[in-house]
Amino acid sequence: MTANKLLEVDGLKTEFKRDGGSITAVDGVNFHINKGEVLGLVGESGCGKSVTSLSIMRLLKDTPGKISGGAVRFEGSDLTKLKESDMRRIRGKDMAMIFQEPMTSLNPVLRIGKQLEEPIRLHLGYNRKKAREHAIQTLKLVGIPRAEELVDDYPHQLSGGMRQRVMIAMAMSCHPKLIIADEPTTALDVTIQAQILDLMRRLKEEKDMGMLLITHDLGVVAEMCDRVVVMYAGRVVEEASVKDLFEQPQHPYTKGLIRSVPKLRQNVRRLESISGNVPDLSRMPAGCKFAPRCPFVMEKCLSAEPDLVAVEGRTDRKSRCWLTQIDERGGETVHEYSAD
Amino acid sequence: MGRYALQRLIGIVPLLFIVSVLVFMFIHLIPGDPARLIAGKEATLEEINQTRVLLGLDQPLWKQYLSYMKDMFQGDLGNSIRSGLPVTEMMKSRFLPTLWLTLLSMAWAVVIGVVIGIVSAVKRNKWPDYAGMLIAISGISIPGFWLGLVLIQIFSVQLGWFPTGGIDSWKSYVLPSLTLGAGIMSMIARFSRSSMLETMREDYIRTARAKGLMEFVVVGRHALRNSLIQVVTIAGLQFGFLLGGSVMVETVFSIPGLGRMLVDSISFRDYTVIQAELLLFAAEFILINLVVDLLYGVLNPKIRYADN
């Protein structure tokens, strides 16, 4: 099991300085990604998904954020302890990232080819000519027609979908082992979304990469992922295989998320939603962070926060809820979860 | 780019026309009768009328404008009311010192200003930032005449490295351009710092970092060019103002430039000279605006390709 792990996030804690104090945006997050696996990271805006991904890549520079605890093990080595120069060798090479906003994620004053060649020359050591050829090859790989001409274009000459393909090409260019995709299709039209997801799945299978797919769209999760981690208020609240998550969601938050997905076949007038908002990170409730919005809230939820524990003794199925921890025999907690 | 440049060039034609009309009208804005003024205080009515015919002031306005334009294209801007010398000749000798002073001041102010701006932005809230901004604040706050006098006192009087004034060699320009450039350098430093900070927050900077690029490549290749667009605007404006000549610096360092010439001609009501200077300043500004527009095109492909 351990040998198969590509990335292991272990108790990751990221804090942001704000007004003299600090708030914890990511608080003790645990998950792992196996080789060749797609892990979905799901949650509402502001739940710490993106901060988690930036923490893994150590791209928190120029934000007030800082990793204050835990470890991020990539192929065994702890990224949080690496020197910046060693981290640079991993960024863009073994671990690459695709961002949410294709419209603003490319530099407007540099040609597409130039931007693509940068990581290729840096990490693969190619000369200009060879890097350009490789860039064109990669653009073809992501399904861009007339790639030979497009390398000399500027970003503003391309559509959003094309730019996201360029971003994917850029991430793919140095044959990464892990791709972190932060809401890669959120900013795109629905038809383009499907194309980009198809492309990402095809590439993932061809190149046997691991992928961390950050999204708030459960449709994307169902289509792309092997396993899912659900985050709420900076914590993991549920972990499951995609099948289990949709068939038997354990955590009330996950249940709410699944219920909120509009279903075409059912004739309902109102959209389901989870009432209330994500709590302000500086004014967190004392017990379970979801308690104020939870339809099943109990006395205990308000005073003590549950741990993330295995459900029914399965190692691949975890939930952070008192409901799943009080078993039918009347006992209290069962199967305390501990990091491997 | 060629098309863009051509469009800009064509765009200045109507501007030049409007400016020329306004400048031409200037002589008619003078209170009283220009013919009387030019003929002199003791002139008789007959002499005044002669002068009027001589200068063509009895002709309809549009005819006057045409002949004014014709003369201008032949390099004739009339004679100075005060000295009777051709204005073009006077301007020629005054223009070069001002041009040199402007070029030298701008050159060091832009280079040093941008460098300070970048360093301050990259090392934000650390000591290089504080040092850079201290220099910038000082540069803006210190009055030019005082700085000029202090520089003369130290480098001319005490050390004897540079002349105290005049325009004898390149050495004469060192202290004046230091004085003149200080304020501009400070302004550019502050502008490039804030522009750089803004650029460093862009998504594509994060993309560049995610590629594993070294920080100096991220700053130098990805951030600098984008943030220079704002700096070019402010530098262009300053360049235009300086080309008008700085009365203060030209006075402190006794440089025979356009700034002093303008003040002299205003105090002697030398309208033909004032008019010629107006024309020159307007033309300079239009030219600099053109250059700034072209630089936008060079820096930003979006502007360059906008019409294609």
Quote the CA–CA distance of B151 and B195 in Å, as a whole number. 32
pLDDT at A336: 42
Nearest alpha-carbon partner for B57 in B31, B23, B22, B28: B28
Q: In what order do the strands lie in the sheet with A65-74?
A: A21-34, A5-18, A65-74, A77-78
* Interchain CB contact of B205 with A (< 8 Å): yes
Least confident stretch, A96-105, A265-274, B225-234: A265-274
The CATH number for A104's domain is: 3.40.50.300
CB contact under 8 A, B300 and A157: no
pLDDT at B230: 85
From the list A108, A119, A154, the residue facing B212 with the nearest CB is A119
CB contact under 8 A, B208 and A118: yes
- Quote the percentage of chain A above a pLDDT of 90: 21
**Max mean pLDDT range (A43-52, A92-101, B82-91):** A92-101
Q: Distances from the Cα of A298 to the Cαs of A290, A330, B73, in angstroms?
A: 12, 16, 92
In one-letter notation, the amino acid at residue A337 is: Y
- Chain B: nearest CA to A106, how far in angstroms? 5
The gap from C-alpha B182 to its chain's centroid, in whole angstroms, comes to 15
* Structure-block tokens of residue B285: 């500004």
Q: Distances from the Cα of A161 to the Cαs of A206, B11, B32, B118, in angstroms?
A: 21, 36, 70, 34
The more confident residue out of A298 and B204 is B204
* Interchain CB contact of A153 with B (< 8 Å): no
CA geometry: angle A92, A97, A100, nearest 5 deg: 150
Positions of CATH 1.10.3720.10 in chain B: 90-304
Quote the CA–CA distance of A198 and A201 in Å, as a whole number. 5
End-to-end distance of chain B based on CA atoms, in angstroms?
10
**Which pTM value belongs to this model?**
0.81
Q: Give B82-110 pLDDT, tens digit per residue.
A: 788 888 888 888 888 888 889 999 999 99
- Quote the percentage of chain B above a pLDDT of 70: 98
Residue in chain A nearest B296 by alpha carbon? A109
Q: Give B266-275 pLDDT, tens digit per residue.
A: 887 788 888 8
* Interchain CB contact of A82 with B (< 8 Å): no
The answer to whether position A266 is within a domain reads no
Q: Give A227-236 pLDDT, tens digit per residue.
A: 999 998 888 8
The angle that helices B171-200 and B144-151 make with each other, rounded to 10 degrees, is 130
pLDDT at A268: 65
The answer to whether position A297 is within a domain reads no
pLDDT at B251: 84
The answer to whether position A319 is within a domain reads no
Measured between beta carbons, the chain B residues lying within 8 angstroms of A109 are 225-226, 299-301
* Strands A178-182, A95-98: pairing kind: parallel
Measured between beta carbons, the chain B residues lying within 8 angstroms of A107 are 204, 207-208, 222, 226
* Interchain CB contact of B301 with A (< 8 Å): yes
HEC sequence for B79-102: ECCCCCCEHHHHHHHHHHHHHHHH
The more confident residue out of A314 and B274 is B274
- Beta-carbon contacts below 8 Å between A and B: 76
Q: Give A271-288 pLDDT, tens digit per residue.
A: 777 777 777 777 777 888
From the list A101, A107, A122, the residue facing B212 with the nearest CB is A122
- Chain B: nearest CA to A261, how far in angstroms? 30
* Interchain CB contact of A57 with B (< 8 Å): yes
Helix (H) or strand (E) holding A18: strand A5-18
pLDDT at A330: 46
- Residues 6 or more apart whose CB falls under 8 angstroms from that of A213 comprise A38, A39, A40, A41, A181, A184, A220, A221, A224, A225
Q: How many domains does chain A have?
A: 1
Quote the CA–CA distance of A22 and A65 in Å, as a whole number. 9
The whole-number average pLDDT for the span A44-60 is 87
- Quote the percentage of chain A above a pLDDT of 70: 93
CB distance B55 to B35 below 8 Å:
yes
Q: Give B132-162 pLDDT, tens digit per residue.
A: 999 999 888 888 888 888 988 888 888 888 8
Please name every residue paired with A212 in a beta bridge, in sequence order, or none if there are none.
A39, A180
Q: Give A177-224 pLDDT, tens digit per residue.
A: 999 999 888 878 888 888 888 888 888 888 889 999 998 888 888 888
- A130: domain range? 37-57+86-231
The whole-number average pLDDT for the span B168-181 is 85
pLDDT at A327: 53
Least confident stretch, A35-44, A169-178, B78-87: B78-87
**Is residue A157 scored above 70 in pLDDT?**
yes
Considering only CA atoms, give the Rg of chain B. Answer: 24
* Strands A210-215, A21-34: pairing kind: unpaired
pLDDT at B205: 92
The answer to whether position A310 is within a domain reads no
Residue in chain B nearest A115 by alpha carbon? B208
CA geometry: angle A146, A152, A158, nearest 5 deg: 70
CB contact under 8 A, B212 and A123: yes
pLDDT at A49: 86
CB distance B176 to B102 below 8 Å:
no
Q: Which of A58, A107, A170 to mutate to test the interface with B (most CBs of B within 10 A)?
A: A107
- Chain A: nearest CA to B298, how far in angstroms? 9
Residue with token string 């006057």: B64
The whole-number average pLDDT for the span A327-337 is 44
Measured between beta carbons, the chain A residues lying within 8 angstroms of B208 are 107, 118
**DSSP 3-state assignment of B299?**
helix
**Is residue B256 scored above 90 in pLDDT?**
no
Q: Distances from the Cα of A221 to the Cαs of A29, A37, A302, B247, in angstroms?
A: 19, 13, 31, 70
Average pLDDT, chain A: 84
CB contact under 8 A, A119 and B200: no
CB contact under 8 A, B300 and A109: yes
Quote the CA–CA distance of A91 and A170 in Å, as a whole number. 12
CB contact under 8 A, B204 and A108: yes
* Interchain CB contact of B210 with A (< 8 Å): yes
* Interchain CB contact of A315 with B (< 8 Å): no
pLDDT at A201: 87
* Interchain CB contact of A91 with B (< 8 Å): yes
The answer to whether position A4 is within a domain reads no
Measured between beta carbons, the chain A residues lying within 8 angstroms of B195 are none
* Structure-block tokens of residue B274: 């004032």
The whole-number average pLDDT for the span A242-269 is 80
* Strands A210-215, A178-182: pairing kind: parallel
Which is the CATH superfamily of the domain at B90-304? MetI-like (1.10.3720.10)
The answer to whether position A7 is within a domain reads no
pLDDT at A331: 46
CB distance A6 to A13 below 8 Å:
no
- Chain A: nearest CA to B181, how far in angstroms? 30
CB contact under 8 A, B210 and A62: no
The confidence band for B304, taking pLDDT boundaries of 50, 70 and 90, is confident
**Is residue A318 scored above 50 in pLDDT?**
yes
The answer to whether position A143 is within a domain reads yes
CB distance A10 to A73 below 8 Å:
yes
**DSSP 3-state assignment of A17?**
strand
Check: complex ipTM more than 0.90: no
The answer to whether position A159 is within a domain reads yes
* Interchain CB contact of B96 with A (< 8 Å): no
Quote the CA–CA distance of A29 and A234 in Å, as a whole number. 7
